[in-house]
Structure 1
Amino acid sequence: MGDPGVNLLYRWPTAAKFGSRVPKEKFYSHGTVSTAVREKFIAEVLRITWAYKLAESTINLAGSEAVPEIQVFEIDAKSNDVSDQVLTAIDKAIPFPLIFEVNRGQGDTKSIRMVASHKQLGTGAPKLSAYYSTSWQPAHTARQPLPAAITLPTLYTAILDPLTPVATRPGEDMSDVVARLETVRKLEREISALERKLRTEPQLNRKIELRRALKTKQSELAVLVEK
């Protein structure tokens, strides 16, 4: 997940409305989907709707090989949420960057979270980062206009930017952001391991070494996630 403190839903352009229901069987009957993931589809997913198609033909922004179009998928959850394994299976089956809106509840209790992975298209299977999400928000939350952008790749980066723990820097493309996100996750794992060792280390001199190492890693992380 990303920064769970973010409250944000976008107002998708009317011209980009697609509104086509996609049978979930299309995804979990795919040969590469494991039995466990298929069971998650059945248990967690009520409905999948291909809601919006952001493309040159719909919003007049030029695409690229990396971001030819951006698709927005709405997923209605059967109960509390939809797991990342389900999102991954859908992401891998669709050859475009995807933004998900997951819906749960009904009527006044209905809430939505927006979630996405930084997706890199290439010659093989698409490369996905971890999934980053907003917090759950009431369905009636006021939606924000899309970020200003002159191409689909810049729009894609700007849509995802508030969700991720790192800010996109001037001149960076998606692969740079993904590489930095991977470094962040690696540092977070190393910091957790050092914190565990520090709690159980009985020797004072070793504790001092561990604290020093921990402080260094925390400083490296702070530089990477500075917005």
Structure 2
Amino acid sequence: MINFPGSTKIGRRIPKEAFYRHLDLTASLKSKFVTDVDHIVVENSLTRESLRLAESSDVREILLLSIALKKQDFDGKIVEAIARQNQHKLLFRLVYEGQEQLAVYEGKLYRTAWKASGESDLTLRGDTMTAIWEDLVRQIALRPEIKMEEGESLCQQLKNQDVIDQLQKRIQKLDKAAWKEEQPKKRFALYTEMMELKKQLEELTHG
């Protein structure tokens, strides 16, 4: 459950047209904005003042936006455009017919799995706005199997996850190729490469 402090509650609906005026969108993306998005609500504004934090940081404000969708298979570039062209740090709660998905843009768009409305969970942790933002990104972007070393930066953790994704895709491709390969020597080479990648994957996920 997303249960941010009452002091952060905004609950202000914003017309889609307000985004059109402030975003640099291609004609195609603007059209998808119209067809994919129903309405947008600014749910919460997290600031040093609203959270009663003692220390200041580079991150000044984090907004939670709820975007009601007209279809579940929406174009993610809509969310990317909003995030990339906004001066605030943004969290997204995407809602469609009793389901919701959390999203955040940090170099690229990260999304959680779809869940029943109200079942998404975000917890505020940290004593500065920067620390809170990075932890919120971790909660949305990082999968549980990603190993986090003490002192490792958010950027490095996201890079590790990308490497893991690439390794998993390559392993699946090699596995299929090995089963189809009829020549023993080539099959062995594919199997050997696959086992080496599995070893790398194990080190990244379990140490």
TM-score (norm 2): 0.82
Q: Does 1:135 align with 2:128?
A: no
Q: Counterpart amino acid of 1:172?
A: E
* Count of matched residue positions in the alignment of Structure 1 and Structure 2: 203
- Change in 2 beyond 3 A, CA 1:207/1:32: farther
Q: Does 1:178 align with 2:168?
A: no
Cα RMSD (Å) = 2.6
Q: State the 1:209 CA deviation.
A: 1.3
Contact 1:81 1:104 in 2 (8 A): no
- Change in 2 beyond 3 A, CA 1:25/1:145: closer
Equivalent position of 2:57 in the other structure: 64
Q: Does 1:22 align with 2:36?
A: no
**Unaligned segments of structure 1, at least 5 residues:** 1-8, 120-127
Equivalent position of 1:10 in the other structure: 2
Q: State the 1:183 CA deviation.
A: 2.1
Contact 2:16 2:39 in 1 (8 A): yes
Equivalent position of 2:100 in the other structure: 112
Counterpart CA distance in 2 for 1:20 and 1:206 is 61
Tell me the alpha carbon deviations over residues 8-35 of structure 1, each in whole angstroms, 9 at most, x when there is no partner.
x321221111223233234445664233
Q: Does 1:78 align with 2:98?
A: no
Counterpart CA distance in 2 for 1:145 and 1:179 is 22
| Pairing of 1:1-227 with structure 2 (within 5 A) | 9-28=1-20, 32-61=24-53, 62-65=55-58, 67-105=59-97, 110-117=98-105, 119=106, 128-139=107-118, 141=119, 146-163=123-140, 164-165=142-143, 166-226=146-206
Sequence identity percentage: 19
Query: SS in structure 2 opposite 1:213?
Result: helix
Query: Relative contact order (alpha carbons < 8 A, sep ≥ 6): 1 or 2 greater?
Result: 1
Tell me the alpha carbon deviations over residues 138-162 of structure 1, each in whole angstroms, 9 at most, x when there is no partner.
34x4x75724322222222322334
- Change in 2 beyond 3 A, CA 1:132/1:144: closer
Contact 2:138 2:154 in 1 (8 A): no
Query: SS in structure 2 opposite 1:161?
Result: helix
Counterpart CA distance in 2 for 1:24 and 1:181 is 34
**Unaligned segments of structure 2, at least 5 residues:** none
* Higher CA-based Rg: 2
